[in-house]
Structure formats: structure tokens, C-alpha cells
Structure 1
Amino acid sequence: MRAMIVNTFGGPDVFEATEIDKPQIKAGHVLVKIEATSVNTVDTMIREMGPELPLSPSAPALLGMDFAGVVEEVGENVTEYSVGDEVYGCAGGLADLPGTLAEYIVADANLIALKPKNLSMREAAAIPLVGITAYEGLKRAGIKQGQNVLVHGGSGGVGHIALQLAKYFGANVYSTGGGEAQLALIEKLGAIPVNYKLESVENYVEKHTQGTGFDIVYDSVGGKNMTNSFEAAALNGHVVSTVSMVELDLSTAHFKGLSLHVVFMLIPMLHNYRRNEHAKILHALTSIIEAGELHPVLDESSFSLSEIGQAHARLGSGKAMGKVVVTV
């Protein structure tokens, strides 16, 4: 089968077109013909850093995590899926799990779900990693109807899903962005936009919460922005982080009594730990999507499998909004 392989880790141009063996079905798995995949920040990190990241596969590496496609073969002990089913999931591209930058994947049935009927293959491929991440974070923070929720980076991959889910769960949703296009998208998705370049944390906390702070702050930006999240959170509030590989002073979090929830959704894949939780979340997301309450935003760019390097460059440019999708 056709595949785009990384033999040497580095820049976006390292991908090489290669013919590799089609994977063989095994128990508990399904063979899926991949129609589309999407690029996530963790994909670009693995491609660039390689062995420096403990979750990276060794070269030659088949990267790519998200996919949508059609089941062609069903392994033993799999009863939920049949040949011809349209499915989506996040099931490879790290450690010893071959990825999705190829025509086929053998995916653990506990890491997939039936594709939402009202999404195209490209749209469905944009959902799994960011959808699971957003859902898990909000649920761990105990989201409730009527709460004030702030999503940092609401025009990005995780952010644009998190703000829609927060709205679906009945929260009053606010989201930061730094440009006219980003703020317009945030508003279109149903959140109140906050221009972090023009408004200080103190100002928008006072403006939107009368100074009490947000019940939940979902931080998909990370780095030094974590201190902004602590500052924006209410007393005994919750901060959800997807990018917490940073050293910082936790004094503000301490004196506010904050709960910090670090979401690392790759744990089930890396450690074969509670993988069925991902299937459950994807099933829930399918229901929410089919009810018309959630829709992925695809970046205006369009790439084929052979253009995966350009897709990585697009995401790395910081100009993409929503998800960068690759048609296989």
C-alpha cells in the first residue's frame, strides 16, 4: 500500500513516498481503508523531535493519528462492527502503533466508533483527537449548566471543539482569540469572543464575571498562558490544560484553591490503558454531532497524502483555523 514514511526526523520535508506491506488483521481489531486523516500538533512534534519525545516511534516511522474510513475486515472477538461500516478514531502514529499516513490501518476496536452520518469523511477525520481531548477535559472539570467557562484558543483544534461542547453542556462560554478572523469564528460557534491582545485578564474577568472569575478555564494554549488561566479562574475553580509541559509558580493556584486537570489523551494508546473509554467518548460525540450540536471547522487548505509535508507546514505556520485535513 502507499504510505508517507519518515526515515529521518526533522522539518516538514522529511516525508518520503513509499510502498509498504498492507497490515494484517488481528483479534480485537478492524482493518480500515482510510479515506482521510488530519494533522495535530503532537504529529508535528513527533515528526520534528523524534526520539527526544518518549512517545515517538522509531524510524522508519508511519505517523498520523486521526482517521475516517471504511471497515474492510473484522478480527476475532469484534462484534460491534461489520464490513462496510464507516468509522472514525485515533488509533496509531506513536510508539509501536503504525499511523494513518497510508491507505490502511489495523485499528483497535476500542479506539474507534461509527462515523457521524451527517459528516463527510474529511470532517470526521478532524474530530477524534481534539474531540476526545475537549470532552475529557470538560467532564473531568465537572462542567455543569449555568457555569461560566473560558476557553483559551477557541479558533484552534481543541479550542473550537471545547467551546461548542461547553455550550452543549449548558455553560455560558467565552473564548480568547487574537485576530479578527479568530474572534469572528469564536462568535460564530456560539461563544463570546475575548481579544487577549487588547484586554487584560483582570479586565475581561471583571467585564464578564463581575470579578469573580470563571468556573472552568480550558487552556489549549499552555506555556506562560497557564498563569493567565490561574488568574482568570474563580475561587475553587477548575483549570484544564492540554499543554502543561512548563515550569511555573503555583502560588496563585494554591491561594485560590484551584483544581488542575492535565489532559493527555494519548495515555490509552501508549499504555493500552482503558482504551474503551475512547470508544465511549467517540460514541457520545457521534450522538452530539448527529443532533446538530457540534461541527468541526476545517481549515481552508486542502492536501492529498503526498502533500503531507505541506499540511504539517500549514499547521506549523500558525495561520490555520480549525483542523488541517489530508485526503487519502
Structure 2
Amino acid sequence: MKAISYRSYGGPEVLEYGERPHPKVGPDSVLVRVKAAAVNPVDWKAQAGYLEPALDAVFPVIPGWDMAGVVVRPGADAPEFAEGDEVIGYVREDFLSRGTFAEYVAAPVRTLARKPKNLTFEQAAGLPLAGLTAYQALVKALRVWEGETVLIHAASGGVGGMAVQIARHFGARVIGTASEGNHDYLRSLGAQPVAYGEGLAERVRALAPQGVDAVLDLAGGEALTASPALLAHGGRLASIADPAVLGLGGRYVFVRPDASDLTALTDLAESGALTVEVAKVFPLARAAEAQRMNAEGHTRGKIIVTMD
């Protein structure tokens, strides 16, 4: 099968396009013909070796954890899916090796859900990792309720845009930080935008004089350190970007595969409450270009690679 892989840690230059063996399918997995996969910052960070203390790498490594595709064959003990089912998956295992930047992936059933019928494969591929990150941070870590005010840092990015939509769906008021050029986009999602930079705290307080009920930090650094002072009494803080949140009394969130959460995202997408913005689509052979674009960090929406 055609795939992108790397034989040693490094940047986009270590990526190779070529043939790799078809994956073996365990009893609780299904073989999926991948139609599209999303590029995420964790892909190039893992490739650079940043996750080496936590995850073993079995080289050559096929990167990618997000995908949308079609079931080719279920494993011996995988009754949840049948041949021809359209699925999405956050296909993360406990080691780096068998990723989704390939024509086929063997996906454990715990990582899969049915694909939203109203999304293209390209849109659906961008949903699992970013959507699960936003959902688990807001619903499980921060426990956002109807009527609360939530501040989301970096609200116009891939995770941020989904977090805004999910928080709004659950009845929260959303204030989102973003560059000026993305303010209209945030308004279209139902958020009140505020600009980054000097005076951020004052701009947030002008919109929420009593403080916000929860802060979801997707940026780290100065945005995170400014956040505790913006919380109302009893407010909650979580970050996916900076473990320093633990020292500020908040929670650090690392997304985990969860079929029920993924199904909840499918339901939100099919109800019209959650959309996926696709910034650019690359063919698999140009995955290195897609990775470089993602690493620049200025893209609104998801960068996708396709296998066809």
C-alpha cells in the first residue's frame, strides 16, 4: 500500500512516500480503506521526537491519528462494524508506528465511530482529534454548563473553532481570543472575539466584569498565565497546550480515543451544531508540504491529505 513514513526523528524532510506492508488486523480491530486524514500539530511534534519520553517509536513510523474511510474487513471479534461502513477514527495506539497517512489502517474499534452523513470525507477526517480534544476538555474537564461564560484562547484554530461550536451548543456564552483577521469568523460561530496582545485582560473584563466561569487554553504561554485572574469565584481552568496549567490550579488535557465521545461528535455534526472548516487539501504524496503548512501555525481550519 502507498503510505508516508519516517525512519528517524526529524522535520518534514524525513518523510518518505512509497510502499509499506498492509497492516495486520487484530481480533478487535477493523481494516479501513482510508479516504482522507488530517494533519495535526502532534504529528510533527511526535515526528520531531517530543513524545519520545511517553511513546515508543517502532520505525519506520507512519504518522497520523485522524482519518475518515470505509471498512474493508472487520476483525474476528469486531461486530460493531461491517464491510462498507463509513467511519471516522482517532486511531491512536500506545506506540508510534501504524498511523493514518496510508491507504489502509488497522483501527481498534475503541477508536472508531460512524462517519457523519452530512460531511465529506475531507471534512470528516478533520473531526476526530480536534473534535474530541474540544469535547473532552469542555464536557469532561471543565464541565461547562448552560448559561456559563467560557473564555477560549486561540479560538479560531482547528480545535478552537470546534470548541466554540460545542460550547455554544451546550448553551454557554463564548469569548474567544484570535487575531483581528479571524474575528468575523468567530462571530459567525457565535463567539465574541477579543484580540491577542497587550490589554487582553482588560478587554476580557470589559465583556465579563464578574469574571468568566471557565477558561480553555489552546495557546499556552502568556494567554495561560493571564487566565487565573480572569476567572470568577469557583471558575475552572484547563489547557491542552501547556502543562504549566497544573501549577495554576487547572487541568492539563491530553485527548484519548473514546468511541462514545466520537459518536457524540457525529451526532452534533449531523444535527448541524458542528461543522468542520477545511483550509487546504493535499494528495498523500505531498504530505510534507501539508506538514510544513500546519507547523507555520497560521491556518484557520483543518489541513487534509487524501489517498485517492
Q: Is residue 239–residue 245 contact of structure 2 (8 Å, CA) maintained in 1?
A: no
Rounded Cα–Cα distance in structure 2 between residues aligned with 1:110 and 1:166: 25
User: Could you tell me which amino acid in structure 2 is paired with residue 167 of structure 1?
Assistant: R
Q: Is residue 51–residue 58 contact of structure 1 (8 Å, CA) maintained in 2?
A: no
Instruction: Give the unaligned 5+ runs of structure 2.
Output: none
Alignment of 1:265 with 2:255, yes or no, is yes
- Equivalent residue number for residue 153 of structure 2: 152
Residue in structure 2 matching 1:316, options 277, 295, 300: 295
Q: CA deviation at 1:93?
A: 7.0
- Equivalent residue number for residue 104 of structure 1: 104
Q: Is residue 8–residue 60 contact of structure 1 (8 Å, CA) maintained in 2?
A: yes
Q: What percentage of aligned pairs have identical amino acids?
A: 36
TM-score by length of 2: 0.94
Question: Which aligned pairs between 1:1-328 and structure 2 lie closer than 5 A?
Answer: 1-49=1-49, 52-55=52-55, 57-92=57-92, 95-140=95-140, 141-180=142-181, 182-197=182-197, 199-201=199-201, 203-210=202-209, 212-246=210-244, 250=248, 253=249, 260-266=250-256, 278-299=258-279, 301-328=280-307
User: Could you tell me which amino acid in structure 2 is paired with residue 310 of structure 1?
Assistant: E
SS for the counterpart of 1:231 is: helix
Rounded Cα–Cα distance in structure 1 between residues aligned with 2:296 and 2:262: 29
Residues 107-152 of structure 1, C-alpha deviations (whole Å, 9 max, x = no match): 0011100000000000000010111111111112121111001111
Residues 288-315 of structure 1, C-alpha deviations (whole Å, 9 max, x = no match): 110000001111x221101111011001
Rounded Cα–Cα distance in structure 2 between residues aligned with 1:100 and 1:40: 12
Q: CA deviation at 1:24?
A: 2.2
Q: Is residue 46–residue 56 contact of structure 1 (8 Å, CA) maintained in 2?
A: no
Q: CA deviation at 1:199?
A: 3.7
SS for the counterpart of 1:288 is: helix
Q: Is residue 50–residue 57 contact of structure 1 (8 Å, CA) maintained in 2?
A: no
SS for the counterpart of 1:164 is: helix
User: Could you tell me which amino acid in structure 1 is paired with residue 11 of structure 2?
Assistant: G
- Going from structure 1 to structure 2, the CA distance change for 1:166 and 1:239 (only over 3 Å counts) comes to same
Rounded Cα–Cα distance in structure 2 between residues aligned with 1:286 and 1:152: 25
Rounded Cα–Cα distance in structure 1 between residues aligned with 2:77 and 2:99: 23
Q: CA deviation at 1:319?
A: 2.1
- Going from structure 1 to structure 2, the CA distance change for 1:315 and 1:184 (only over 3 Å counts) comes to same
Rounded Cα–Cα distance in structure 2 between residues aligned with 1:93 and 1:35: 20
Residues 186-242 of structure 1, C-alpha deviations (whole Å, 9 max, x = no match): 1111111111236421x12321112x2110111011133211221222121011110
- Equivalent residue number for residue 256 of structure 1: none
Q: Is residue 213–residue 232 contact of structure 1 (8 Å, CA) maintained in 2?
A: yes
Q: Is residue 61–residue 97 contact of structure 2 (8 Å, CA) maintained in 1?
A: no
- How many residues align? The count is 306
User: Could you tell me which amino acid in structure 2 is paired with residue 102 of structure 1?
Assistant: A
SS for the counterpart of 1:84 is: coil
- Going from structure 1 to structure 2, the CA distance change for 1:322 and 1:93 (only over 3 Å counts) comes to farther
Q: Is residue 57–residue 93 contact of structure 1 (8 Å, CA) maintained in 2?
A: no
Q: CA deviation at 1:72?
A: 0.4
Residues 73-106 of structure 1, C-alpha deviations (whole Å, 9 max, x = no match): 0112222211000000111376155101110000
User: Could you tell me which amino acid in structure 2 is paired with residue 136 of structure 1?
Assistant: Q
TM-score by length of 1: 0.88
User: Could you tell me which amino acid in structure 2 is paired with residue 236 of structure 1?
Assistant: G
- Going from structure 1 to structure 2, the CA distance change for 1:112 and 1:245 (only over 3 Å counts) comes to same
Q: CA deviation at 1:247?
A: 8.2
User: Could you tell me which amino acid in structure 2 is paired with residue 216 of structure 1?
Assistant: A
User: Could you tell me which amino acid in structure 2 is paired with residue 326 of structure 1?
Assistant: V
Instruction: Give the unaligned 5+ runs of structure 1.
Output: 254-259, 267-274
Q: Is residue 62–residue 93 contact of structure 1 (8 Å, CA) maintained in 2?
A: no
SS for the counterpart of 2:276 is: coil
User: Could you tell me which amino acid in structure 2 is paired with residue 153 of structure 1?
Assistant: A
Which of the two has greater strand per residue? 2
